[in-house]
Amino acid sequence: MAVSFTNAWKDSLKDGLVVALRSSFSPSVPVYFSKKTEMRGSQFISVKGDFSNSINSMQNLIDVNFSITLDYFMQDHKRNDTSLRKFFNQVSKIEENVYSLLDIEPLFDVEIESINFTDDEEFQGYRKASFDINVNNAR
Amino acid sequence: MALTTHNIVYDKILIPLRDALRNEFEGSMPVYIDSKHKDIGTKYLRIFVDSQSLQYRRAKSFTNLYNVEMDYVLKTTKNDTSALDKMYRDVSRIETLLFQNPHNGYFFNQMPSIEQNADVGIDNALVAKITVPVLYQEDYERFGKFVTSDNKFFVTSAGSFYIVRS
């Protein structure tokens, strides 16, 4: 008999994160989960799964750490205070959404370990905030 | 229900720092926020947050360490003592201002580190890179799902959960 299992990346992680962000940002900022980053307009959020590792396995629970990279892109040709304020406003909004909404699930523990702010080299004229997110989930 | 959020990096970290520096130099030195250098005179200060990292996580708050980078640029074709003295003087003044910590709401994690004569790819210029680690704590809203007395989630006919503030 085949083993009964949960699609951990999809059910426990991807759906929760993407749905939480889409509920706050769509349709003005597309949010998608993908292996490769593709340009989706003047602003978009790309989420990638990096790796997972099991901390320990108990009798009834699998305790797993998921490592995720979330990249927020914003086109900024003006490069003035208004556009910069908008960029960092979206960054804070993502940050607080991740903490507030993912904490709804009692079996989630989320940490945004770091965020790096750069001018993206692949997409010229875009600012980029790269979030390094760690999610612990027991199932 | 929309979440209430604050623009932490811009409004809480960069703007108080920029305004304190502008007040100190009273128009004698342009101070601007950006990740790139701009051609705005013979002397200017560029400030930006390169990165942030999580320091503490509590039930309804997080504390981040913000890595603030400042580039002091003095354009000069002279490579003599007087030009260097001018740069050292301005950088010492910035360092003293940071030491006095006149801002409310956040804390310098430690004193700034300064790299004199840094190379940032600008010709005929003396550059000092000043790195300031800043701690800031943000409280955030926390929510929970509405659970019925038999410990099942309350779901509407449309399949939505009720979400309540915890």
A chain contacts of residue B145, beta-carbon cutoff 8 Å: 104-105
Residue located via tokens 């199932």? A139
Percent of chain B with pLDDT over 70: 79
Contacts of A95 (CB under 8 A, 6+ apart): A112, A115, A131, B8
Average pLDDT over residues A38-66: 82
CATH number, domain A8-138:
3.30.2000.30
Q: Are B140 and B62 in contact (CB under 8 A)?
A: yes
| pLDDT in the model for residue A62 | 75
Q: Which of B93, B130, B136, B135 is nearest to B110 (CA)?
A: B135
Predicted pLDDT at A33: 86
Confidence at residue A52, expressed as pLDDT on a 0 to 100 scale: 84
Over residues A52-63, the pLDDT tens digits come to 887 766 667 777
Residue A133: closest CA among chain B residues belongs to which residue? B54
| Lowest-pLDDT range of A3-12, A34-43, A61-70, A114-123 | A3-12
Q: Is the pTM of this model over 0.80?
A: yes
pLDDT score at B140 = 82
Using pLDDT thresholds of 50, 70 and 90, give the confidence band for residue A103. low
B90: part of which helix (H) or strand (E)? helix B81-100
B144 contact residues in A (CB cutoff 8 A): 104, 106
Q: Where are the domains of chain A?
A: 8-138
Of the residues A92, A107, A108, the best mutation for testing chain B's interface (the one with the most B CB atoms within 10 Å of its CB) is A92
**Quick check: B144 and A104 CB within 8 A?**
yes
CB contact under 8 Å between A116 and B51, yes or no, is: yes
What's the mean per-residue pLDDT of chain A?
86
> Which pLDDT belongs to residue B57?
87
Residues of B (41-70) whose Cβ lies below 8 Å from A: 48-54, 57, 62
Check residue B161 and report its DSSP letter. B
Is A100 close to B143, i.e. CB distance below 8 A? yes
Of the candidates B49, B134, B50, B45, the residue with the CA atom closest to the CA atom of residue B93: B45
DSSP letter (8 states) at residue B39 = -
Q: Measure in Å the smallest separation between the Cα of A116 and chain B Cα atoms.
A: 4
- Per the document, the length of chain B is 166
Which of A:3-62 have CB within 8 Å of B?
24
What is the least distance, in Å, from the CA of B107 to any CA of chain A? 19
A40, pLDDT greater than 90: no
Residues of chain B with pLDDT under 70: 1-2, 101-106, 109, 143-166
**Candidate CATH numbers 3.30.2000.10, 3.40.710.10, 3.30.460.10, 3.30.70.2860; the one for domain B8-165:** 3.30.2000.10
Region A102-119: what's the mean pLDDT? 82
pLDDT of A102 higher than 90: no
Min CA distance, B145 vs chain A (Å)? 6
Contact A103/B142, CB-based, under 8 Å?
yes
The answer to whether the CB atoms of A117 and B54 lie below 8 A apart is no
Mutation target to probe the A interface, by most A beta carbons within 10 A, among B6, B9, B66 is: B9
Contact B8 A95 (CB under 8 A): yes
Taking only the tens place, the pLDDT of each residue in B28-40 is: 999 999 999 998 8
Q: Cα–Cα distance between A134 and A66 in angstroms, integer?
A: 6
pLDDT of amino acid B117: 86
Task: Please tell me the distance from the alpha carbon of residue A42 to that of residue A16, in angstroms, as a whole number.
Answer: 25
